[in-house]
A and B are shown apart, each in its own frame.
Chain A
């Protein structure tokens, strides 16, 4: 089932949680809402579910306007960050709840619940109470419970947020596989970009109640639409400067910027990811920057080099193991840092 969100807005007192948000999600897609806390991602998810009502705008499931439909008539599965399991019910009864309130025949409930327990690999723990399960197991039960009544839409609010790193990693790939099996349209909220990129078909980056960018993980990472997205998706080196006459001059670097070819100079910022920088031993006018090596350390597959330019700005460079071996950098030596690629954003005129 597809979901279309049209010009949603929501305020809590003086705080604007969502402002004029529109989004199309097609059937069978797995979409991540990614953003820092306070960006409105959870509010958006809760409005899609019907747990919160919007001040303005509409939500449609397929062609049906559900904006004023109460949550219990929407048939959506919702997974909460802290599981929200019914602690007085066994795992079996938790999963069966959605079917029991719909008064499905007992035999059908039995069959469906066992099928789901099989799916979440907890078939032997149906008689346990939630307090007797680990966090990862509880969240799987919550997911099975949400799926029991065959929802049209599956919504997950920071589903792995309360789990430790290893379990989180396991559940991520498990969720991805599960989605490939059952193909229900799913939206999940996260503040963790790795999680969003690893699990989702498409990522919606949100900031301050607005959508900054929508795209596949690859698109969003390679072509960030705004400085916020650039900044939010991992480490980045920032160079301040100006653009004029088709060139950008940022932090001692000079690159082409054909989008702005008029003569008036405008402030701009250049962004370079650590892996897009190389270290060389020869200076070059406008193509690299002089810097002093401060520290070199290996982090997994890359070697992270921390440098300082003459003005005291810190630069971060990720080199491949081999390249680092070739260079043999030593703390204190002077080198030149060369970007393979610089992304320039011209500042909006703002007063």
Chain B
């Protein structure tokens, strides 16, 4: 009598699983756990009064509102960019294609500085826009602008491969069946892109929630108006209120996590699988 052990075709299952769990633990779970632990040093009432002040609620509104609007705008713009890059061969396409990745590489503080410099009253763009009532610096709009800058590449890079993979014969089939170009896009191509667009939205949204470096330069950080939650955390830290700072972080984490979970479910549903 001998017990048979199942041999796997791919070697190294145990070490790679151990590595994955170790990585997750050390780099993700331990810091997150520490955040919760630190926040729990506050009593329930202290916690509540730290995270639910009027200023904090305004900061959550600005953070989530601006991120939502910016990510939606990123989806529209990113779809457009991906469409152009995949569908139309034009001179310099490779160059444009690599430019898309630039926001990934650029320190976001630089983006923030440049944006605020462009859109202030005396800036290159601001001198035309501010008289029209469009304030692209030190305003809610300014936050959205930089978040779009940061979010678009996520959408482009998730949609692009899916778009490239759609065979021409699907469009030809739609045309044979009598669909106009618009109907073909609306009913055939767009629905095929939805799952990728939702993923791109989720990535851009998640990135926007945590964005600090650029926003801090363009928003003006006016409490109740253009102060985002991460800036509020930093200002609490500067007041040496570490527990209060982590409490706000916990709220931010919980909200983000539940929203991302929701988006993931939405994405799975949109794939029809």
Let me know if A86 and B178 touch, CB within 8 A.
no
Let me know if A72 and B169 touch, CB within 8 A.
no
CA distance A73 to B167 in the complex (A): 22
| Nearest CB of B to A219, in Å | 32
List the B residue with the shortest CB-CB distance to A80.
Answer: B169
Let me know if A49 and B176 touch, CB within 8 A.
yes
CA distance A51 to B176 in the complex (A): 8
Does A140 touch B at the CB level, under 8 Å? no
Let me know if A101 and B167 touch, CB within 8 A.
no
Let me know if B176 and A101 touch, CB within 8 A.
no
CA distance A131 to B272 in the complex (A): 10
Question: Which 9 residue pairs are nearest across A and B when measured between Cβ atoms?
Answer: A98-B177, A84-B169, A84-B173, A78-B176, A88-B191, A101-B179, A80-B169, A71-B175, A72-B175
Does B170 touch A at the CB level, under 8 Å? yes
Let me know if B176 and A86 touch, CB within 8 A.
no
Let me know if B180 and A84 touch, CB within 8 A.
no
Let me know if B167 and A84 touch, CB within 8 A.
yes
List the B residue with the shortest CB-CB distance to A86.
Answer: B188
Does B122 touch A at the CB level, under 8 Å? no
Let me know if B192 and A101 touch, CB within 8 A.
no
Let me know if B178 and A75 touch, CB within 8 A.
yes
| Nearest CB of A to B75, in Å | 18
Does A208 touch B at the CB level, under 8 Å? no
Contacts between the two chains (Cβ within 8 Å), count: 69
Could you write out 30 A-B pairs with CB less than 8 Å apart? Answer: A70-B175, A71-B176, A72-B175, A72-B176, A75-B178, A77-B176, A78-B172, A80-B169, A80-B173, A82-B167, A84-B169, A84-B173, A86-B174, A86-B191, A88-B191, A88-B192, A88-B194, A89-B191, A97-B187, A98-B177, A100-B187, A101-B174, A101-B179, A101-B187, A142-B173, A145-B173, A146-B176, A148-B177, A149-B177, A149-B178
List the B residue with the shortest CB-CB distance to A89.
Answer: B191
Known A71-B175, A142-B173; 17 more pairs at CB < 8 Å: A49-B176, A71-B176, A72-B175, A72-B180, A80-B169, A85-B173, A86-B188, A88-B192, A88-B194, A98-B178, A100-B187, A101-B174, A101-B177, A101-B178, A101-B179, A146-B177, A149-B177
Q: For residue A69, which residues in chain B have a CB less than 8 angstroms away from its CB?
A: none
Knowing A51-B176, A98-B178 touch, does A84 contact B192 (C-beta < 8 A)? no
Which of B170, B172, B173, B178 is in CB contact (< 8 Å) with A102? B178
| Nearest CB of B to A235, in Å | 34
* Residues in chain B within 8 A of chain A (CB atoms): 167, 169-170, 172-180, 183, 187-188, 191-192, 194, 272-273
Does A76 touch B at the CB level, under 8 Å? yes
Q: Chain A contact residues (Cβ within 8 angstroms of B): what range?
A: 20 to 34
List the B residue with the shortest CB-CB distance to A71.
Answer: B175
Q: For residue B188, which residues in chain A have a CB less than 8 angstroms away from its CB?
A: 86
Which of B167, B169, B179, B192 is in CB contact (< 8 Å) with A97? B179
Does A321 touch B at the CB level, under 8 Å? no
Q: For residue B183, which residues in chain A have a CB less than 8 angstroms away from its CB?
A: 101
List the A residue with the shortest CB-CB distance to B180.
Answer: A72
Which of A75, A101, A146 is in CB contact (< 8 Å) with B180? A101
Q: For residue A129, which residues in chain B have a CB less than 8 angstroms away from its CB?
A: 272
| Nearest CB of A to B36, in Å | 40
Let me know if B272 and A88 touch, CB within 8 A.
yes
Does A176 touch B at the CB level, under 8 Å? no
List the B residue with the shortest CB-CB distance to A142.
Answer: B173
Q: For residue A98, which residues in chain B have a CB less than 8 angstroms away from its CB?
A: 177-178
Q: For residue A323, which residues in chain B have a CB less than 8 angstroms away from its CB?
A: none
List the A residue with the shortest CB-CB distance to B191.
Answer: A88
Q: For residue B172, which residues in chain A have a CB less than 8 angstroms away from its CB?
A: 51, 71, 78, 80, 84
CA distance A145 to B173 in the complex (A): 9
| Nearest CB of A to B211, in Å | 33
